[in-house]
Amino acid sequence: MLATGGERGNARLVECRQPGAHDRGIFYATFCRRAGMAPVCSNPKHEITTVSLTADDVRKVARLARLGLDEGAIAEYATQLSSILDVVDHLETADTDNVEPMSHPLDLTARLRPDVAQATVDREAFQAIAPDTAEGLYRVPKVIE
């Protein structure tokens, strides 16, 4: 149930998540990328996923990140990033209905010390070994003219 990249004009290769709904489950659906419209299946009850990343998408991100990528690298990154998105799409199919949300796999809490103000730094001891002090402050050479 994963989309497999590819484009034809204003159509992108997508896959309907309804098993057996289409020939091999893969079809081309038209949509407008600039308007942000999602592809539409001929059967409105079907859910569609598009997870492929195009070379134009990689070019745009590379330009925004100020990366100088050649065409070979752009094509390679588009393929690699699309495969990562395919894995994420595959993970979304996992049944998590009876799984409780958690922030950590181990049910442990951190033992914190009491929030009590206490002196932790002996300023006089540190200033005694400093090269130059005056009135409780450290003196340093002037660095800005």
pLDDT in tens, 54-108: 899 999 999 999 999 999 999 999 999 988 888 887 887 888 888 888 877 777 7
What's the confidence (pLDDT) of residue 46? 53
Contacts of 83 (CB under 8 A, 6+ apart): none
Q: What is the DSSP string of 117-139?
A: ------HHHHHHSSS-EETTEE-
**98 lies in some domain:** no
What's the confidence (pLDDT) of residue 49? 55
**66 lies in some domain:** yes
**78 lies in some domain:** yes
pTM score > 0.75 for this model?
no
**141 lies in some domain:** no
Q: What is the DSSP string of 62-103?
A: HHHTT----HHHHHHHHHHHHHHHHHHHHHTTS--TT----S
Banded pLDDT at 5 (limits 50, 70, 90): very low
Domains contained in the chain, number: 1
- Residue 58 CB burial class (10 angstroms; 0-12, 13-18, ≥19): buried
Q: How far is CA 88 from CA 26, 52, 70, in A?
A: 19, 11, 27
Average pLDDT of the chain, as a whole number: 73
Q: Encoding tokens for residue 106?
A: 């181990």
What's the confidence (pLDDT) of residue 140? 92
Range of the domain at 79: 7-91
pLDDT at 136 over 80: yes
**126 lies in some domain:** no
Q: What is the pLDDT of residues 8-54, one digit of tens each?
A: 343 444 555 555 554 444 444 434 333 344 454 555 555 555 567 88
For 53, other C-beta atoms within 10 Å of its C-beta total: 20
How large a percentage of the chain has pLDDT more than 70?
Answer: 65
Calpha distance 1→96 (Å, rounded): 17
**139 lies in some domain:** no
